[in-house]
Every structure is written in C-alpha cells, then in structure tokens.
Amino acid sequence: MLTIRNLRSYYGRMQALKGVSLHVKEGEIVALIGTNGAGKTTLLNSIVGLVSSITGQIIFLNADITHQSPREIIRMGVSLVPEGRQLFAPLTVMENLTLGAYQRYRRKEKSKIKSDLDTIFERFPVLKERQSQVAGTLSGGEQQMLAIGRALMSGPKFLLLDEPSMGLAPLIAGQIFQIISQLHRQGTTILLVEQNAAAAFKISNRTYVIETGRVVLQGASEELLHNREVKRAYLGREYKEVWE
Amino acid sequence: MAIWNSHFECMTKDELEQLQLERLQATLNRVYRSVAFYRKLFDQMGLVPDEINSLDELSRIPFTGKTTLRAGYPYGMFAVPLREVVRLQCTSGTTGEPIGVGYTRNDLTHWTEVSARVLCAGGVTKNDVVQICFDYSLFGGGLGFHYGAELIGASVIPGSNLDPARQVVIARDYRTTALIATPGFAIRLAAVVREKGLGPADIHLKRGLFTGEPFSERTRKQIEDELNIKATDNYGLSEIAWPGVAGECEKKKGLHIFEDQFIPEIIDPRTKEVLPLGEEGELVLTTITKEAFPLIRYRTGDITALDASPCGCGRTLIRMKKVAGRTDEMVTINGVSFFPSQIEHIFSQIWGVEPRSCLEIDRRGNQDIVNILVKVSEKIFFDEMKKLQDLKSKVEREIYQDLGISVKVKLVEPDSFARETKGKRVIDKRESS
C-alpha cells in the first residue's frame, strides 16, 4: 500500500531523516519506534506532505505522492492523527468531526459521511454523548478518541497514528490500543508511531526501529521483542544487567 | 511440492527488492555503528551508509574477506555485545585459522527458518524420520539441520558422527526416511547396506539432502541409484549459515538462495568486478537479517553462477548452480594437499614472472596425474624454446622437491589455453572420469 525509498527530510539545514526506506502492506499494522528526536513524527508528517523539503520516493497505492499537497494526499485516502491530538479546542465534538470530512462535502458524499459518523458514534459512544460539548473540555482519553474519530471522518484507507497513548493513564492508553486493534481487524491499514514500545509490539505485525533519522532494525514485531538491544532501549527492562 | 514459507519464497521482484533495500540499509547502519572494522572501512572510503540508495550501489562497498574475519577472531567482528549472543560456533579452520561466529536469539530463529526451508524444498515433511549424519559440534552443520527438521515437525535422529555401520543399523531400526549427510558419507552408507545384504524391505529411505563437499551430478546419480532415494543439494557456509543459504527443490534445477536474508552477487575473483547475471564466478554474500555477525559483501570463495529464470516449483528466489569449485581451491594429489597458489609461487620464483597457469588433474589406475598448463605467448614460444624447456624442467623438479608431487608442465598457446581452461585454475577430471 505504502512504499518509501530513501526518504530524506530537512528542516532548513537540519536533516531529520537520512535515507529511510520502509513499506506497509494492505491490511497490516506497522509500528515505528524510536527515542525522542529520532525522526518518527517527521516521517509521518513527510508522508502526508507537511514537510516540504524532502527527497526520495513515497509511493501510495502505486502513485508517487512525494511532492503532493497534504490536501491531495488526504483525498487519496491517507489520514493522520497528529501527536498531541491537535483538536480544535474551542469547537464542539460534532464540529471537530465534521471538519474531519471537510473535503468530502464538496464531493457530495453527504449520505456516506452520515453513515461514517454513525459508525464512529457506535465505536465511541462517549463522543455521541458529548457531541455538543467543547472539545477542549474533554478528558485526555476522550480527546484522543475524538482525534481518531476526526481522522476516520475523511474515510481513509490508510491511517497514520502519532503517539496515540501520549499523556494518557495506562488504563486509558490500553483502551486506545484496543480501539486501534479493532480498526485494524476491520480492515484499516495502520502505521503507528509509539513511545510505548511494549504496546506497539503487541498490536503490530511488523516494526521498524528508527535512530537519529535512520532505520537500524526491522522485522516481525514478535522477533524484535527478543532483541535485547530493543528491550533495553525501549522496553526499559534488563537495565540492571548492564554491568560492563 | 510444499514450500515452507510461501510469503518469503514467492515474493514478486518489486516486493523482494524493497525488502532487501530496507534490510540492507538497516544492516549497514548497524555495522557502521557497532563494528569497528566496518566503521573504519567506511570512513576510509569517505562513505556514509546513508548513501546506499539502491541495491546496485552495494557494489560501492569493499569486500569482506576471510583474512579480515580471522584477524577479528574471536569476537572482533561481532555487532552486538557478547551478552546478547546465545550461541557461539566457529569454522573448522581446515584452510587456516578458525573464524568465530555468534548468533543472537533472532539469528537462531532465522537460521532455523532457512534450514526448514532447505529441508522442505528437499521434500522433508513432518511425517519423515530424519537422520542427521553431521557432527553436532562447534562447526555448525548438525545443529542447523537439527533445529530446522524439528521446526518442520519431523522425527529427528541426531546421528552425529557415528560410523557408517552404526548409522545404517539406526536407519534400518528406526525406519529413517530422510538422510542428511555429505555425499561421500552417503556413498559409504550405500556400501555398508550392500555389505550387510540389506534390501529395500530393510531400508526405508526416500530422500536425502547433501552438502559439505563437492556434489557432482554423477555422484547424485550414484547415490540415488544405490540408496534408491531422491537426492537434493543444498548450500551454506559456517561464517553465515550452514545449512541455510540455498536449497535445491525437487526440480533439481539449481539451489534457491534465500534472498530475503542474503543478497548474492557473482564477481570475477581476479578483477573483482561484478559479473552479469548468468556468468560463472565467485559468490559474494551480504547478510541482511543477521544481528550478531553481519557480513557485508563476504567473499565465499565458492565458484557458481546465478539463474533468475522462473522455476517450476513456484519459488521466485534466484537459483545458484551447484558449486563448481573454490577460488582458493585446495587440491589433493595422491594424498598430498596443496593450493594452486603454491605452484604459482614456484613459477614466479623461477620464471621471475607468474604466468597464467591451470592444473589439469586426472586419474590413471590408482595414480593421480597432474599437468600444469602454462599460457605462453607465441613470441616466446618460437624465440626462446630452448630456454623455456630448461625453465620447464626446473619448475617440475622444484615442485617435486617442494610439494612431493610429480607434475608435467605443458606450454600452451593463448588460444588453446583459454579453450582448455575456461578461466579455471584447476580442472579436476577425476570426478567425471
């Protein structure tokens, strides 16, 4: 579904990605883990066209989207749930959701949008309850659900999730991961960026480990769990064993 | 015909190339970060791993040779700290100092996987009783096959290094159906079967997978006839994975290389240029899933050629021909072992230059006969005949004194030299006669 070759992204003279290649197949959930500043968010932003200074190749559904506008990329079926949710805080839940589908109103998909909205309310009953509440007053978990719901309103084939568990209590984070798993089971292809590596490994098929803008490990998530380097760096276990 | 992992063994070219590129880039980033030798090498070349943007650009990186691995013995080339290594093995060291090899848990998982692919390609199923006649030691082989066969779910007999007579008794008693051995060992087993007067009712073997020695079509035919089995070839090396680099399927049209884990190239061993697809040369392998002991462009010393034409078995993996010989070929003549390079050295000492030469080995009765074909230009051939004759006998004497073998030096014109040697350093006719 998505194939990236040698992606290099720059913020001015600073190079954030140094030749990243990766792929996501239809129906897969692929995790991207790494420390702060490794380039995970840059990678997602580059895919959706938010980083303008990039080289390399990004191919989505056999079309080269490397230098397309975010608007065009979203129209093709890519949707991003950004880091820190980025909701429109003063607007209501309903207004946020409606905005998620803003490109589709022009395409006269009103009845389809309505049915998508119903599906989202089914999945997140709490959003239905609070549809007229201002987004900024929701709890962290509810905000994350709203962010996911808003992304789903564009009717995506491919969902990018940037640290969906960030700042959430473990119990709530667990719920969010369950929702992601459900979305995946129902056929959405997902690229997931996470700091919570243990959870990311658990729900993903494959994982890429990214370090200072480069991929250093990749493989089946189950396998990477056995990589002790990954365990130490990202799962926080075994640190007592470092004795040299 | 079953395929063990149809996901990785039947990928489209695009899928495979994307996967290889991703894994190659990750491997290069890791070796640059963690292996002092590669970091130094890249720095010397002014090369950053990030610059490798396609599989073709792999050829920009220098080769890794046996000498480097020996210099790093035992842990110098490891890319992970020792505490992450769960298995240590080494090469046998028959051609010099040993090479230490380490495996992380994931490396063992991958090795077991490719071993299962080899066995499955050779026809082994969970219903087989597999007898493994490879030493279960530091040198790989036995353990590699063992875990692969267990993964398939076959009943595995670790026959290890028991002598042929006892192996035959075990094969008879346990009704072994699949034999894993060297071709030479299989022939010795066949001899024991004959001596003991055992027939098809006693020996239930159906298939055999052979490796570890040159395995000619003639030997295959002999093993298949004498043991009444289907015999397939497979390839690996202790430095990388033995078994598990490549395995022959039941079509017997070459050995499928597991390209999702190893990138093969064929080079001219003399010029070190990458050769076009299909040409015969030295096999060079890059490991792209190894964690503990990754090797970039490792010169295997094995001579083969690649074949990308589709195979009837359904696997899309490229195939290598049976290994035709070794670049650093050790030759044994009437019980004396030596390297062609030793002969070349004697030439250079006496002649002052090292001419292109080729050893032609044949067998008459019980004696090995060696002719050394030496390429001479026409000019020298006519002008300095007498002098050459003297040099010729001097070399023959010197070789006899130095190595203890009698040889005949034959002076050959360039055209017929090329025709007769086909670029090889050694032509061994003993196997095919």
Contact between A93 and A133 under an 8 Å Cβ cutoff? The reply is yes
In angstroms, the CA B190 to CA B202 distance is 13
pLDDT of residue A241: 43
Contact between B110 and B59 under an 8 Å Cβ cutoff? The reply is no
Residue range B1-327, CATH number: 3.40.50.12780
pLDDT of residue B30: 95
- The pLDDT tens digits for A124-171 are 999 999 999 999 999 999 999 999 999 999 889 999 999 999 888 999
What CA dihedral angle connects A186, A192, A198 and A199, to 10 degrees?
Answer: -40
If you average pLDDT over residues A178-185, what whole number do you get? 92
- For chain B, the structural domain boundaries read 1-327, 331-428
Instruction: Work out the minimum CA distance from B105 to partner chain A, whole angstroms.
Output: 7
Q: Which one, of B253, B181, B171, lies nearest residue B223 by Cα?
A: B181
Q: Chains A and B: how many Cβ contacts under 8 Å? A: 59
Task: Decide: residue A91, CB within 10 A, 0-12 exposed, 13-18 middle, 19+ buried.
Answer: middle
Kindly identify which residue of chain A lies nearest to residue B79, measuring between CA atoms.
A229
Report residue B60 CA to chain centroid gap: 24
pLDDT of residue A111: 86
Query: Quick check: B23 and A218 CB within 8 A?
Result: yes
What is the ipTM, given to two decimal places?
A: 0.88
In angstroms, the CA B153 to CA B161 distance is 23
Residue B305 CB contacts under 8 Å (≥ 6 apart), including other chains: B266, B278, B279, B280, B281, B320, B321
Query: Quick check: A214 and B50 CB within 8 A?
Result: yes
Of A221, A226, A240, A243, which to mutate for an interface test with B (greatest number of B Cβ within 10 Å)? A226
The helices-and-strands tally (H runs, E runs) of chain B is 13, 23
Helix (H, G, I), strand (E, B) or coil at B167: helix
Chain B residues in contact with A224 by the CB 8 A cut-off are 106
pLDDT of residue B171: 96
User: Can you spell out the DSSP letters for A166-199?
Assistant: TT--HHHHHHHHHHHHHHHHTT-EEEEEES-HHH
- Residue B303, by phi and psi: left (phi above 0), alpha (psi -120 to 50) or beta? beta
Amino acid occupying residue B304: T
Work out the mean pLDDT of chain A and round it to a whole number.
90
A228: contact with B, CB 8 A cutoff? yes
Of B5, B16, B18, B87, which to mutate for an interface test with A (greatest number of A Cβ within 10 Å)? B18
pLDDT one digit per residue (tens) for chain B, 433 residues:
799 999 999 999 999 999 999 999 999 999 999 999 999 999 999 999 999 999 999 999 999 999 899 898 899 999 999 989 999 998 866 556 788 999 999 999 999 999 999 999 999 999 999 999 998 888 768 999 999 999 999 999 999 989 999 999 999 999 999 999 999 899 999 999 999 999 878 999 999 999 987 788 888 999 999 999 999 999 999 999 999 999 999 999 999 999 999 999 999 887 899 999 999 899 999 999 999 999 999 999 998 999 999 999 999 999 999 987 777 666 777 777 676 767 877 887 787 766 778 888 888 877 788 889 888 776 555 567 777 788 888 889 988 888 788 888 988 888 888 888 877 778 888 765 4
**Residue A238 pLDDT exceeds 60:** no
In angstroms, the CA A88 to CA A70 distance is 18
Q: Are B1-327 and B331-428 the same fold in CATH?
A: no
In angstroms, the CA A221 to CA B379 distance is 67
Task: Decide: residue A235, CB within 10 A, 0-12 exposed, 13-18 middle, 19+ buried.
Answer: middle
Kindly identify which residue of chain B lies nearest to residue A224, measuring between CA atoms.
B106
If you average pLDDT over residues A80-96, what whole number do you get? 92
CATH 3.30.300.30 for domain B331-428, yes or no, is: yes
**A112 C-beta neighbours (distance < 10 Å), count:** 13
Scanning A16-55 for CB atoms below 8 A from B yields 18-19, 21-23
Contact between A151 and A80 under an 8 Å Cβ cutoff? The reply is yes
In angstroms, the CA B222 to CA B255 distance is 20
Instruction: Work out the minimum CA distance from B35 to partner chain A, whole angstroms.
Output: 14
pLDDT of residue B312: 95
Query: Quick check: A226 and B109 CB within 8 A?
Result: yes
Contact between B296 and B286 under an 8 Å Cβ cutoff? The reply is yes
User: What pLDDT band is residue A242 in, cutting at 50, 70 and 90?
Assistant: very low
pLDDT of residue B323: 87
Chain B residues in contact with A208 by the CB 8 A cut-off are 22
CATH class of A1-77+197-238: alpha beta
pLDDT of residue B433: 47
Of A57, A218, A243, which to mutate for an interface test with B (greatest number of B Cβ within 10 Å)? A218
- For chain A, the structural domain boundaries read 1-77+197-238
In angstroms, the CA B333 to CA A126 distance is 85
